[in-house]
Amino acid sequence: MKIGVSLPVREMKDDLGAIRAYAQLAEELGLTHLRVPDVVIRPNGGHLHEPMMLLAWIAACTEKISLCPSVIVLPARQTAHFAKQLAELDVLSNGRARLGIGVGGSKEQYDALGQDFHTRGARCDEQLSLLRLLLSQETVNFQGRWDTVEDMGINPLPVQSHIPIWYGGASVPGDAVVQRIGRFADGWFVLCTPEEYPAVRSRIDNAARNAGRNPEDIQTEAGVAVVGPRQAEWQARVANWRDMGIDYVCLRTLGGNLSSQQHLEKLTEVVPEAIELSS
């Protein structure tokens, strides 16, 4: 099982030196990936960096760690423009991009970005098909309900011939999301409880088989907070997910109202034990 971490950007805010130090420390400690959440605009404000810009900046001060915006609210964004951003992140990081996507739940954000909240699931399905083409072919022809591309492409293409695309959704996803994961996803972010996991996994496996895919090609990642109300049980939770066959665990130092320095100290404290528990 691989261990990564969510960058605590909501609490570090504009302390860019600490964000850079946290990313570099995660790499030095041997973590496999960094995750950054996505919100472009929301009611009453609220601080959050744009993930593609932030990860492009982090790419310049790291060398090995995978960079994962998660989850991008894909139907709220223009498809070709986002494909260009993702390809650029992969080029700037020398092939370290992994994408997490979802459809989101904020109608206000969709309205502010000029997109239709009510068709977001169907549009996401179409976008996934177009994304794969734009990220792999120099010249693309695509005719869809929302996007049309005629004899055009993005250049440069990403370093990776296949950027992993992971899906996130509700804790217990509905049938539409399960089908989307089964048809398109390289992995899914597990938000359900360990007790709910086997049943959800079975539904996704069946969807993958029905789509002609091998369910084993769809990986999994669960989150584990190492601060806050469940701090005392984080080791047991990591070990439990390992025993259940989860492929990745994402640690979170967010949620304990830590200072920037305390985030760094907490990361240094927990990562060696988490890596030991993962094997």
Yes or no: say if 268 and 22 are a contact pair by the CB < 8 Å rule. no
pLDDT of residue 67: 98
Per-residue pLDDT at 86:
98
Strand 72-73 vs strand 66-69: parallel, antiparallel, or unpaired?
unpaired
Instruction: Compute the distance between CA of residue 109 and CA of residue 127 in angstroms, rounded to an integer.
Output: 18
- Report the SS3 class of residue 125: helix
Residue 168 backbone phi and psi in degrees, to 5: -125, 150
What's the rounded Cα separation, in Å, for the pair 110 and 209? 33
**What span, in angstroms and rounded, lies between the C-alpha atoms of 149 and 92?**
25
Residue with tokens 């609210």: 73
Kindly give, in sequence order, each residue whose CB lies less than 8 Å from that of residue 145, ignoring residues fewer than 6 positions away.
122, 123, 126
Distance, CA of 214 to chain centre: 22
Q: Would you say 35 and 10 are in contact if contact means Cβ atoms under 8 Å apart?
A: no
List the pLDDT tens digit at each of the 279 positions of the chain.
Answer: 999 999 999 999 999 999 999 999 999 999 999 999 999 998 887 899 999 999 999 999 999 999 999 999 999 999 999 999 999 999 999 999 999 999 999 999 999 999 999 999 999 999 999 999 999 999 999 999 999 999 999 999 999 999 999 999 888 889 999 999 999 999 999 999 999 999 999 999 999 999 999 999 999 999 999 999 989 999 999 999 999 999 999 999 999 999 999 999 999 999 999 999 999
Tell me the helices (H) and strands (E) count for the chain, helix number first.
Answer: 10, 11
DSSP state of 62: -
For residue 103 the two structure tokens come to 């459809």
Instruction: Give the list of residues 6+ apart from residue 242 with CB closer than 8 angstroms, or none.
Output: 1, 249, 277, 278
Give the model's pLDDT for residue 1: 98
Domain with residue 232: its CATH number is: 3.20.20.30
Q: What is the CA radius of gyration of the chain?
A: 18
**Quick one: CA torsion of 104, 157, 147, 220, rounded to 10 degrees?**
-30
Identify the H or E element spanning 6. Answer: strand 2-6
Residue pair 108/131 in contact (Cβ under 8 Å)? The answer is: no
Domain of residue 41 covers 2-278
Count how many domains the chain has: 1
Structure tokens at 263: 């985030």
Please tell me the pTM assigned to this model.
0.96
Residues in Cβ contact with 27 at an 8 Å cutoff, skipping those fewer than 6 apart: 62, 63, 64, 65
- Which among 84, 82, 28, 93 has a CA at the least distance from the CA of 55? 93
